[in-house]
Structure 1
Amino acid sequence: MLESTRRTSALRARIPILLMAVVAMTAACSTVERADDTPDATRSIATVRGTVNVPENPLRVVTLEPVELDTTVALGIMPVGTAVLSETSGVPAYLGTDAADITTVGTVAAPTIEDIAAVRPDLILGTETRHGEYYDQLTAIAPTVFISSQSDPWKESVRFVGRVLGREANAEELLSAYDERCAEIAEKFDTPGKTAQLIRPRNGELTLYGPSSFAGSTLECAGFTTPPRPEWAEDISVDLSPELAAQAAADLVVVTATDPADPAAVPASITANAAALPNPRAVDLSYWITGVGPRGGQAVLDDIDRILSTG
């Protein structure tokens, strides 16, 4: 019995060492093989973790943050792996059918190191505020680059990802196309001078999103103004209890839902305040809230165009 216990203890002690060996071996195999068998050239990128040498032309990218996933796909590079906000919903459908085949490597909040190593990336993109604790493990697999925070201005994150991927000019083209679409909608529907408020029902409250949020900034880009609140000076959102729903008054009221087609998508606390919240429109949560990036921005603008076209 004592000998059996000793063998079990010894095996347990070896597990972390074996796991480290597996990660190291996978990382060694993750070097991209070129047609001429020469190693890929690298570029130096300044990051929150100092200078990181990344592949000149990364081919096997893993993304851990929604804006990195959206931007990478928009730039024509399909990631080999991505962390998702929910393993149940998986890769957001708005990214297209090709993106549905991307391997999931855990969640944005808790990426799975073994799954990341298994897809043999040559570049990993993450976020310091969310993934800082994993940095050493990730860099043992492949060059790892972090944006500072998921709260950073999303356009700057798009530019940064473009720079890391060696497609900075293409990233600027995507942002220019977004701005041009905003201007077209503003002119088409004469939105300047009108207000718009995005509301997300959750946990029994109503979350209002301000002008510095992703979708809030897109509404403003399309010519609308977010109704002023003192919270917008520091926060991207504010929670209201349902009985205060009328405080979200605006000319255009947009309400996020998992299923916008559901007749009950807009809660009673909003529909009961028709004078302040006229004709609220349900929109898809997957890109209005979490679809941060060029493709998500265009999807939000598609909805704005559709809503305003139907009156």
Structure 2
Amino acid sequence: MKRSRMNLVVGGFVIVALAATMTACGADDKTDASGASADAVHTVAHARGTTDVPADPQRVVVLEPVQLDTSVALGVTPVGTAVLSEATGVPAYLGAEAAQIETVGTVTAPNFEKIAALRPDLIIGTQTRHGDLYERLSSLAPTVFMATQTDPWQDNVRFVADALGKSDQADVVLGDYNARCKEIATERGTGNKTAQLIRPRDDVLTLYGPTSFAGSTLECAGLTIPARDWENSISVDLSPEFVSGANADIIMVTSVNPNDPTTLPSTIADNVGFFPNPHLVDMSYWITGVGPLGGLAVLDDIERILETNG
């Protein structure tokens, strides 16, 4: 049976409910609404050392897409989140409840005053992006930092789960993602097909490799990204005159509006010999929606595209 993003979210809530019930059975009088001890903490090792954080944080602020996606997947709705673009806000694929999360600036420039106003009891950030803010953030609430957003995304999912006190549940949500990959690979016979994700930019095409979030999901589903020198990076840029170098059996092209065929760049649309059947896909989860829910959304698209290709 096909696994979906909704199955993952529901599964996460079931686990959370069971965990809360088990905690309540042994709780003393000093408990919060969830049944956890109000003073309970656990120690998280992170990029800036070790920090004691609430065992069951209730007012979480996250500063990175993978932290937002993972929190929602684990049944924790942050009170605040940094976003990649304040104009677009929280990605729609995360659902209606997530859309109500207060935004606190952008991923690259979080707004300290907005974060403070939310009275967080846990802040999760990233050393490479937010290192200069660590002391200020730590003055507001226990703060833990991933090392970098470019680390393998599943490792970062596990880090976020640990910070939230839900390490065991990380195995569940990632297990659902990996099972969905295997299901598609088996049912669609992807082993002999190549695939390439392309992100059009102003004057180049950015190709995503096997270590990127989307690229790793393509390969998790049994597809192969054509070999090239990835220059120790998740992606490489290709000049339009070398567009043929982006060819593969299945081509995905990111768009802010994949339902609008005019968003397909002329560099690809005018080269039907190399790209006879390109597929527009939603940038909000193929590129920016890193995490278990974004992964399932990408896998849904992959299955749809494979069905279209026959």
Write the distance in 2 (CA, Å) between the matches of 1:162 and 1:34. Answer: 20
Runs ≥4 residues deviating over 6 A: none
Structure 1 residues 154-196: Cα deviation after superposition (integer angstroms, max 9, x where no partner)? 0000011111111111111110100110011111111012100
Give the unaligned 5+ runs of structure 2. 1-30
Distance 1:40 1:261, change over 3 A: same
For 1:62, the aligned partner's letter is V
Give the unaligned 5+ runs of structure 1. 1-32
For 1:218, the aligned partner's letter is T
Using the TM superposition, give the Cα deviation of residue 121 of structure 1 relative to its aligned residue in structure 2, in angstroms.
Answer: 0.5
| Corresponding residue number in structure 2 for 1:247 | 245
TM-score by length of 1: 0.87
Write the distance in 2 (CA, Å) between the matches of 1:244 and 1:278. Answer: 17
Write the distance in 2 (CA, Å) between the matches of 1:220 and 1:152. Answer: 17
Distance 1:269 1:52, change over 3 A: same
Indicate conservation of the 8 Å contact 1:83/1:108, yes or no: yes
Structure 1 residues 41-98: Cα deviation after superposition (integer angstroms, max 9, x where no partner)? 1111111111100001111100000000000010000000000000000000000000
Write the distance in 2 (CA, Å) between the matches of 1:70 and 1:39. Answer: 26
| Corresponding residue number in structure 2 for 1:58 | 57
The alignment partner of 2:125 has SS state of strand
Structure 1 residues 238-290: Cα deviation after superposition (integer angstroms, max 9, x where no partner)? 11111211100100000000000112121111122223223000000000000
RMSD of aligned Cα (Å)? 1.5
Q: Among 256, 261, 264, which residue is 2:262 paired with?
A: 264
Using the TM superposition, give the Cα deviation of residue 310 of structure 1 relative to its aligned residue in structure 2, in angstroms.
Answer: 2.0
Percent of aligned positions with the same letter in both sequences? 59
TM-score by length of 2: 0.87
Matched, 1:292 2:290: yes
Write the distance in 1 (CA, Å) between the matches of 2:74 and 2:306. Answer: 29
For 1:307, the aligned partner's letter is I
Using the TM superposition, give the Cα deviation of residue 152 of structure 1 relative to its aligned residue in structure 2, in angstroms.
Answer: 0.5
Distance 1:274 1:38, change over 3 A: closer
Indicate conservation of the 8 Å contact 1:81/1:102, yes or no: yes
Indicate conservation of the 8 Å contact 2:36/2:56, yes or no: no
Indicate conservation of the 8 Å contact 1:40/1:57, yes or no: no
Indicate conservation of the 8 Å contact 1:75/1:170, yes or no: yes
Matched, 1:184 2:187: no
Alignment of 1:271-282 (within 5 A): 271-282=269-280
| Corresponding residue number in structure 1 for 2:85 | 86
| Corresponding residue number in structure 2 for 1:20 | none
Write the distance in 2 (CA, Å) between the matches of 1:109 and 1:235. Answer: 20
Write the distance in 2 (CA, Å) between the matches of 1:34 and 1:69. Answer: 24
Matched, 1:197 2:193: no
Write the distance in 2 (CA, Å) between the matches of 1:34 and 1:175. Answer: 29
Distance 1:39 1:187, change over 3 A: closer
Write the distance in 2 (CA, Å) between the matches of 1:164 and 1:125. Answer: 8
Using the TM superposition, give the Cα deviation of residue 38 of structure 1 relative to its aligned residue in structure 2, in angstroms.
Answer: 7.2
For 1:202, the aligned partner's letter is R
Write the distance in 1 (CA, Å) between the matches of 2:187 and 2:271. Answer: 29
